[in-house]
Every structure is written in C-alpha cells, then in structure tokens.
Structure 1
Amino acid sequence: MKVIAIDMDGTLLGNVHEVTAENAKAVKEAQQLGVNVVIATGRDEKEARSPLKQAGIICPTITVNGAQVRDEDGNVLSSYPLLKEKTRHVFDVLLTNDIYFELYTNHGTVTDNYDKAIQAIIDFFHAANPAQDINTMQQFAKERFETGAISLVASYDELLEQEDTEILKVLAFSKDEEKLSKTRAQLHDIDGLAVSASAPDNIEITHKQAQKGLAVTAFAERLGISMDEVMVIGDSFNDVSMFKVAGYKVAMGNAEQAIKDLADFISKSNDEDGVAFAIRQKLSHMSR
C-alpha cells in the first residue's frame, strides 16, 4: 500500500473523540515506511486538525466529505462549494420537512439554533457510543461553541447572501426515520448534489464532486499512485464512495453492516485501536 486514507469519527478517533495513542503510533509507523497517509473526514478543517495536532500527526486532509483537500501545512489544494441556487433548494426541502440543519462554510461551521445544535451532537455521539455518560456528551457539545468549532448566526439566508461565504456542506439531523427517508428522496432528485450520511439520523449534502472517493482518487493521481495501491479505513455511509474505488477496504469492527459487506477486512472497533490493528496487519504483509 502506498496510500492509506482514514476516516475520523468512529474510526481513527476513540469514543472520547481523540486519536488513541496506538492509532497515532501506527500512523507514524506507516509514514516512516513511506506510506502516504491522508485523513478523509466529514469534519471541517478546524475540527479535523485539532485532534491530529494533539496526537502529533502531520498529514494532508480531505475534509467536509471531500469538499476541501489540504496539504499537510493546511494549504487548500481543491475546493468544491455548493452552488448557491442549489443551496437555496436544499434549504427549501429541509425547512418544508421541518428538519434541523447546520452549515459548513469556508469561515467555519454555523447553526441558527443553539439548543438544537447541542442536542444534535449529543444524539450523534450517543448513537456511536450509547454507554457514554450524558453529562460528558453535553459538556463536549458546549465546548464546540466555546472553542469556536461551531458558531451561532441569526440567519442562514443572510449568510448565503454574503459574497465571500461558500457553503461546503449542509448537515441535517432528525430522529424521525420516515421524515429522513422522504427528505433524502427529495434531495436525490436535485441535480448536482452528493447525499450521504455519517450516522443513521443525519443527512450530509455536498457538491457532487465533494465525495471522499473522488477526493482520494484525485489525491492518489496527484502522487502517480494506482488505486490498487490505496487502502481505506472507515465505518459509515459517507465512506462508501472510498470503498468503491480503493484497492483494499477496511471496515471498523463498529462499522455499519452495509460497510462491512463492502470490506476486504474487518478490523477491531474504534475503541480497540482498530486503525492501528489494520495498518499493522497490512504492513506486516508488505514486509514479507
């Protein structure tokens, strides 16, 4: 393997939302052997880079599901924001169906409802780890505002009118499965969009070119590397596009069953250093 693309939440990050020590060590081991490691996440650059920096991992990033690709120094290599007329159409669909949503922009992630933003992140992490203490999840959700990972705005429409603002992703949440299913179907009818999910109760909407699989392919091509020499590691539906193009696919032990069905190898869970286990398994085969 010459490239390893790794998802973050539910994959590289443990259940306390940090890169585990063994995962960080294994990533660096791969890099020392000349493997190009790239992070491929639905997070924006700020929320992606923070845990990487804490773990001492320096590498390129594919963020917002592929809407932005940056080199290891944070320089933007490519960007695919949503067209504003498409964004307005998305707003209409979500508002008509009474679906709460947040915006990922070139200036950061924003919400127009503080309480719903807090509840959405709690629900997201509870789905990934139901045993986690609710007070811990609440504190983490509040810290996102305190650190500027997400900001409160008065109006999405006003934000959209700003010439220097680009919408990279719309992230919608609902616990109502029927409502989500109806909304997904309506969004799929809009040309030029990529519609995926990072959890059962959300919808991620990006430009059709903003997909992890397309970004990983472009990353490998930039290095002159065949997709047969690319390994991807993930756990959820927004990783499917990577699994469709990579030569070797690893699903986490905690992955959705649909992701496991696409995998060549099923690793341990994200809270059992599953990324480190998968990387070392592959590196040991390479060294034979």
Structure 2
Amino acid sequence: MSRIRLISIDIDGTLLNSQNELSAANLSALHRAHDEGIQIVLGTGRRHAFALPIAEALGFDLWMISSNGAVTRSTRDEHFFMDLLPAKVARDLCIYMGDEFRANTVITFERPGKGALIVERTDELTESIQRWIEKNSQFIEFIVPIETGIVTDPIQAMFCGTIAKMELAQAKLLAWPGRDQVTVLKTQYDHRNLCIVDILNRDCSKGHALQRFADSRGISRDEIVAIGDNFNDIEMLQVAGHPFIMGNASNELKQNGWPVTLTNDESGVAAVIDQVLAEATTNA
C-alpha cells in the first residue's frame, strides 16, 4: 500500500454500529490516523447539520461530504463545494412521480431551521424512518402540494419507504423524461425493510465530491482509502485506490472484488485503519 493521505468513511452502517453509536475502537483508530497526518473525510447520505454531531464527536476538525456528495463543508463551517438540484427539475420530478409517492417524498434545502426539509405528510415516512423524523421534526415544513414549496434550488429530493415500494419508485424513475438530468442513488437496509432513493443533480455523488476534493489538494487515487457499506458508497469506493467494504454490507456489494473488513458491530473501520497504519510503518 502506498502512502495514504486521505481516508473517506461512510457514517451509517460503517462508522456507527447497529445501535448508531461510535465505538471506542473506531474513535481511537481515527485519532491515530489523524495524528499521523492522514486527512479524515466523512462521506454520508445525511445532510450536513444531521451529520455534524457525529463529526464533532471525533474531537478534531475535518471535512464532510454530505447529502451523498451535494455539499462539501468542514466542521468549522468552511465551504468547499455545493452541487444543487435545479428547482425546475425537482418540481417536474414531484409532479411526474404523482400521488403514489407523495407520502414518501422529502425535499432538502441548504438553509437553517424549519423549511430545511419539506414534505406533504409523514405517515409513510414515520413507518420507515421514525427516528429520523423525530430528530428532524424542528426542520420539517408541511407544504401541499410539495412542488409549490420548491422556489429555490434544493440539495436533493428523497423517496423513502419499504423495499417493495421503492422498487416501484425506481422503475418509474427509469421512464422519467428528465432522468438524464439527475443522479439516482440507492441506500438499502434489508433487515429494516428500508430503502432510500436520493435524486441529486447530474454527476453528483460521494465519488464525484471525493475526487474533486482530493484533486484540490493534490491527492492521488493511490493515496486514498475509502470505507463503505451501501449502494450509495459505490462511486466513492471506485474513486479510492484502496476501497474496503464492510462485513455487514449486502452480498451483492461484496461481489465487486473489494477487500471486506469486519462488520460495523466489530469496529470494521478500526480494522482498516490499523491495517493502513501497520503497512505504513512496514514501508517506512
């Protein structure tokens, strides 16, 4: 392994265990990597404000790629890049998806307070992501019909529900005339019967954001480690010269030939970092 300068890590299902906790082993390993001068970047589907408490718990300043690549911002509120979804595209999307998916739709904006998230209703969302609804209740604004609330460019649109319902959503999206204007990313948790389908601007993903950030700092592919567990991590893993997939990832993702680390309940992130630091010492 060449000298590693950057480690990009997904949050849910990767850095956090199944109880949404940061293990002592992962925290210790991240501090060792940081002390060695390795840049730590969190790459997450969460919006920046929702991911910030996790990042701050690490105890050092870092950059976050949030909303699946739409926003790159530091824990010190330094802005690097933002890739917004055009408002007209988002409105057309909501109208096209129709009444069948209105109860599954969330539109996310880059603004503080209520209205950062807009929905029509939350009954189906609560069934799928109750904890997320509870933690974000102060930011949610109800607008009917939802497309009338899209007057500025949002960060993304999200459809969330059961795996079966989201398979129908993805099938409908394939036939949307505006499909070539967007990126469609999926995050799926089979054990929770939960699927999240994110709609972002064209050529927007964790991978695009990571490549842009690394290029700005003269970091080459061979100097990047990436660790993820889900379908929305694929582009990020492809950008890294040293990708690792979590042991709790689906069997489908494990077929890509990437090294498989331990599960998130076994501190798989720490296992990767230990390997990286050990090999760095060996090659020194």
Structure 2 residue 112 is matched with structure 1 residue 121: no
- The whole-number CA distance in structure 2 between the counterparts of 1:203 and 1:106 is 19
In structure 1, the partner of 2:192 is none
Structure 2 residue 147 is matched with structure 1 residue 144: no
Offset at 1:246? 1.2
Offset at 1:73? 1.1
- The whole-number CA distance in structure 2 between the counterparts of 1:53 and 1:265 is 29
Q: 1:114 to 1:27 in 2, by over 3 A?
A: same
Q: 1:38 to 1:120 in 2, by over 3 A?
A: same
Check whether the contact 1:80–1:168 (CA below 8 A) recurs between aligned residues. Answer: yes
Please give the TM-score of this superposition, normalised by the length of structure 2.
0.86
- For 1:91, give the aligned amino acid: C
Structure 2 runs not aligned, ≥5 long: 190-194
Structure 2 residue 156 is matched with structure 1 residue 169: yes
Q: 1:18 to 1:55 in 2, by over 3 A?
A: farther
Check whether the contact 1:97–1:179 (CA below 8 A) recurs between aligned residues. Answer: no
Check whether the contact 1:6–1:12 (CA below 8 A) recurs between aligned residues. Answer: yes
- The whole-number CA distance in structure 1 between the counterparts of 2:270 and 2:48 is 23
In structure 1, the partner of 2:91 is 88
Check whether the contact 2:244–2:261 (CA below 8 A) recurs between aligned residues. Answer: yes
Structure 2 residue 225 is matched with structure 1 residue 221: no
Q: 1:199 aligns to what SS in structure 2?
A: strand
Count of equivalent residues? 266
- For 1:167, give the aligned amino acid: P
In structure 2, the partner of 1:58 is 61
Structure 1 runs not aligned, ≥5 long: 123-139
- The whole-number CA distance in structure 2 between the counterparts of 1:5 and 1:56 is 17
Please give the TM-score of this superposition, normalised by the length of structure 1.
0.85
Offset at 1:11? 0.5
Offset at 1:88? 1.6
In structure 2, the partner of 1:128 is none
1:277 is matched with which residue: 262, 271, 279?
A: 271
State percent identity of aligned pairs.
Answer: 26
- For 1:101, give the aligned amino acid: T
In structure 2, the partner of 1:249 is 243
- The whole-number CA distance in structure 1 between the counterparts of 2:133 and 2:90 is 27
Offset at 1:141? 4.2
Q: 1:85 aligns to what SS in structure 2?
A: helix
Check whether the contact 1:7–1:234 (CA below 8 A) recurs between aligned residues. Answer: yes
